[in-house]
Amino acid sequence: MNSKKQNKEKQAVTAEQQVQEQETVNTEPSVNEHDSEEKSSKKAHTKKDNRDLQIEELNAKLAEFSDKHLRLQAEFDNFRKRTMKEKADLIKSGGESVLVSILPVIDDFERALNLMKDVPDTDAGKMGTQLIYNKFTDFLKVNNIKEIDAVNLPFDVDLHEAITKIPAPSDEMKGKVVDVVQKGYFLNDKVIRFAKVVIGE
């Protein structure tokens, strides 16, 4: 009887110990669970690092594209301004070649009038020549062509072309234009023909 009772008590103690051990096992995290938590935290950390890296790359690309866009815009603006200036210059001096071609005709009319200075002003030929010459000079004025002043002025390389030098009639005329062989002309303040001059020395 006693032995049966002792066996039952031993079995009860053993069962109780097993239950306690099981509870201890259940309450303590297993090594596998701990490893899986570490792995998941590492993955989350890696994902965050990757996301930050992608954001940095995208910001760098955005800055690069913004810079390229600004440069392109500036280049286009410069191109537009340059084109407008070229167009304005073309309009301003559009018929330059035609106007330059007319200048020798003006020279011929001036020579003709110079030869006719002894002819009376009532002469029909002189009057006709003078009339045509006046129309030509008016045409030049309308097209913004002006004569370059030269006589008695200091020689200027930007305006005059020296043909020859002669002894100056006075000390004041040294280095100045004594005579004009061919008149020079401006078109809108641009020299289209240099004045051919004689300089005193």
Q: Give the CATH number of the domain where residue 158 resides.
A: 2.30.22.10
Contact between 181 and 196 under an 8 Å Cβ cutoff? The reply is yes
Whole-prediction pTM value?
A: 0.54
Query: Does residue 107 share a domain with residue 75?
Result: no
Query: What is the three-class DSSP state of 147?
Result: strand
Query: Does residue 148 share a domain with residue 61?
Result: no
Diameter of the chain measured on Cα atoms: 176
Query: Does residue 76 share a domain with residue 164?
Result: no
From the CB of residue 200, how many other CB atoms can be counted at a distance below 10 Å?
A: 20
Separation of CA 68 from chain center:
15
Among 66, 91, 116, the domain-final residue is 91
Among 62, 91, 120, the domain-final residue is 91
**Enclosing domain of residue 11:** 2-91
Distance CA 41, CA 33 (A): 12
Distance CA 110, CA 133 (A): 8
3-state helix, strand, coil in the chain (%, to 5): 65, 15, 20
Among 91, 115, 150, the domain-final residue is 91
Query: Does residue 81 share a domain with residue 16?
Result: yes
**Per-residue tens of pLDDT for the chain, all 201 residues:** 455 555 555 565 565 666 565 555 444 444 455 566 666 666 667 777 888 888 989 999 999 999 999 999 999 999 999 998 888 777 666 678 888 888 999 999 999 999 998 889 889 989 999 999 999 999 999 988 999 999 889 998 999 999 999 998 888 888 899 999 999 999 888 899 999 999 998
Q: Residue 120: which region, alpha, beta or left (left: phi > 0; alpha: psi -120 to 50)?
A: beta
From the CB of residue 150, how many other CB atoms can be counted at a distance below 10 Å?
A: 24
The set of residues, in sequence order, having a beta carbon less than 8 Å from that of 100 and lying 6+ positions away, is 192, 193
Query: Does residue 134 share a domain with residue 63?
Result: no
Residue 3 confidence (pLDDT) = 56
Query: Does residue 24 share a domain with residue 59?
Result: yes
Terminal Cα-to-Cα distance of the chain (whole angstroms): 159
User: What is the number of structural domains in the chain?
Assistant: 2
From the CB of residue 152, how many other CB atoms can be counted at a distance below 10 Å?
A: 11
Backbone angles phi, psi at 108, to 5 degrees: -65, -40
Distance CA 182, CA 160 (A): 10
